[in-house]
Homo-oligomer: A and B are copies of this chain.
Amino acid sequence: DVTISGYGRTGVIYQESDDTRTNETQIVSRLRMNIDASTTTDQGVEFGGRIRLQWDQGEEGATESPGLLYVTANGLTVSVGNVGTAYDEAGLIYATELGAFDRSVGGNSLGDFYAFNTDGYDRGDQVGVAIEYAVGDLTARASYIDPDQSGYFEDDADDGVINGYSGFEEEFGVSFDYVWNERLELSLAAVQNGAGIEDNDQYFVGARYAINDAARIGLNYIDNGDDRAEFFDPNADGSNDYDLGNTIALYGDYTLADGLTNIEAYIANNDGDWASKESDNAFGIGVNYDLGGARLGASIQRDYDEDVTADMGVRFDF
C-alpha cells in the first residue's frame, strides 16, 4: 500500500531587520509530500518506509529525504534510518506556535537537536534508531542518532572537530506524553548530546489544560542546553561567549463561538545572554480560520532581539 500525503502553505512573512540589503517582506512557501509504503504480514505486523519530497522557498528544487523504515505491532513501533527523534516529537514542545506558518520565535526551543531529516544529511554515515510505545493515554519514545556510524570521522581528530564541524557524539533522547482525563496534557523530554554536540543536554517539561471545550492554557519550560558547535556563533564574533539559557512560556488558545476561528497567544521569558539580545521577554498573538481542509492564519510576534515579525498565509493538508 502506497500513499502520498502532506501539506502546502504559502503567504507573506515580514521580518524586521537591521540589514538594509535584504527585503523585510518576502513570500514564503512550502510543499511537502510524504511517500509512505507499507505492507502487513499475515501475523498483523506492519512494515513500512517513507521518503519525503519537499520544496521550501529559496531552494533550487524539491529535495528528497533519506529513507525511514519501521515495523509496528501492538502499539510498539521501531524505526531505523532517518527516524523522528524523541525530543523533537514531544507532544507539547511546539505548542506555542502561531498562525498558518506555525512559527514561535520566543516559545520554541533555541537549542540544537536532531529530527526527521528533510533536506539530506550534511555529512558522514548518519543512522538513527527510535522506539515509540503508545498504550492508552501514554506515549513513550526513545531515540538514538549516530552522526557517523562508520567511525571514520570521530577518529579523525581528538576533539571531533572536522572541517569546522563538531557534532560527532551520539545523541540520545527520551520523551513521554500523557493525557489525563482528556483535559490535562503532560509532556516530558530530555536529550543528551543534542545534534551530536558533546554535553549539549536539553530538557523540556510542558503541561496544557483544557478549561472547557473552547479554551486551553499551557506552560512550557525548556533548558536550551549548551550548543558549543563550531558553526554556531550567535554573537558573530567568534568569542563563543553566549548562553542560550532557559525558556519559560505561558500560552493559550481560544476557539470563538463560530467554531472556526481560533485565537492563540504566548508570552515567553528567556534568561540567556547573547550579543543581539535586547530583552528577556518575547511574545506573540495569532489567529487561524478553519476552511475545512485548509486554514487561513496570521500572527505577529516580537523576539528576544526586540525585532518584530509578522506573517499571513494559507495552509492546506492532503
A interface residue numbers (CB < 8 A to B)? 1-6, 8-10, 21-23, 26-27, 29-31, 33, 35, 37-43, 45, 47-51, 53-55, 57-69, 71, 80-82, 117, 119-122, 125, 127, 129, 149-152, 155, 291-294, 314, 316-318
Contacts and interface: CB of A to CB of B under 8 A. Distances in A.
Main secondary structure of the interface of A (DSSP, over half): strand
Contacts of A58: 125, 150
Q: How many copies of this chain?
A: 3
Contact of A318 (B1, B67, B316): B1
A62 to B, nearest CB: 4
Given A35-B4, A57-B127, A293-B47, A64 B66 contact: no
13 contacts: A2-B3, A23-B151, A26-B125, A26-B150, A31-B49, A33-B51, A37-B318, A41-B292, A41-B293, A45-B291, A61-B63, A61-B64, A64-B64
Given A10-B81, A120-B61, A42 B152 contact: no
A81 B57 contact: yes
B67 A62 contact: yes
